[in-house]
Amino acid sequence: MATMWKTMLVHHEDQSKIVNALRFLDISQSSKETSEHHHDRTFQLLVVVQEWQSQFCKLIDNQKAYIKALNSWLKLNLIPIESNLKEKVSSPPRVRNPPIQPLLIAWHDFLDKLPDEVARTAINNFAAVIHTILQHQEEEMKLKEKCEETRKELSQKTRKYEDWWRKYMQQRTPEELDPERAEDNSHNDAIAERQSVVDAVKIRLKEEEEAYRKQCLQVREKSMANLKTRLPELFRAMSEVAHACSEMYKNLRSISQAHRGNAN
């Protein structure tokens, strides 16, 4: 276990170096919008981080509960055995406390001092960041979908207007199309009325595209800002807990070996 946590410490320290370099990352050439693939990978990352948090908490909590239960069991069931006067003097003295008890006490104390709460908080914060990024991405994708629907609407209304305009102009006589005739006002009004419908959709599309563009920018900026903050915090905390666990098991191994040597 000491070796395992030592290996994890090395990996977490390497990860810390990588994420600390994020502040120098240039994202100007990266994709400016969230794709379905990107969104799916973000969701998968959230699931993995949430599972990581769950398993890490179980690892620490179950270990604490196990050692606490063993300690409690020993306290409840350990009965001091008095020396029997009838026994021969040469009989070896009875051991009042089992050799495992000092190990369990030390193990319990080490577990109580683990900086696991910091690691739990860091993983939880990182999961919250990924969840927030996912929500921003979903808002962005909804805006994109809204723009696409409005483009279709604009295309339909434009085509409808052009069909109407073509038929309308074919039905007009040269006199009706004469700009100097009084009826020209009604002619212009008819065209303007239908043109305004198309123009309204154009304006709405322009506003939606601007909102979408701003959302894309915000998603990128907020995502990078949050990752630059939370990732170093996460791997710093994991490095600390990995170091503490490695030292704990190394010390427990020494305690176990010392008691084994004394027993021999």
- Please give, one letter per residue, the 3-state secondary structure of 80-125: CCCCCCCCCCCCCCCCCCCCHHHHHHHHHHHHHHCCHHHHHHHHHH
pLDDT of residue 85: 46
For the chain, domain boundaries: 2-21+36-77+98-174+187-263
| Low-confidence spans in the chain with pLDDT less than 70 | 78-97, 172-187, 259-264
pLDDT of residue 81: 47
The pTM is what? 0.78
CA distances to 108, 124, 251 from 69, rounded to whole Å, are 10, 28, 21
pLDDT of residue 262: 62
| CA distance linking residue 119 with residue 128, whole number of Å | 14
Does domain 2-21+36-77+98-174+187-263 sit in CATH 1.10.10? Answer: no
| CA distance linking residue 155 with residue 178, whole number of Å | 30
Instruction: List, in order, residues 6 or more apart from 247 with CB less than 8 Å away.
Output: 2
CA distances to 150, 185, 232 from 122, rounded to whole Å, are 42, 70, 10
**Measured in whole angstroms, how far is the alpha carbon of residue 17 from the centre of its chain?**
19
pLDDT of residue 258: 79
Burial category of 204 from C-beta neighbours within 10 Å (exposed 0-12, middle 13-18, buried 19 and up): middle
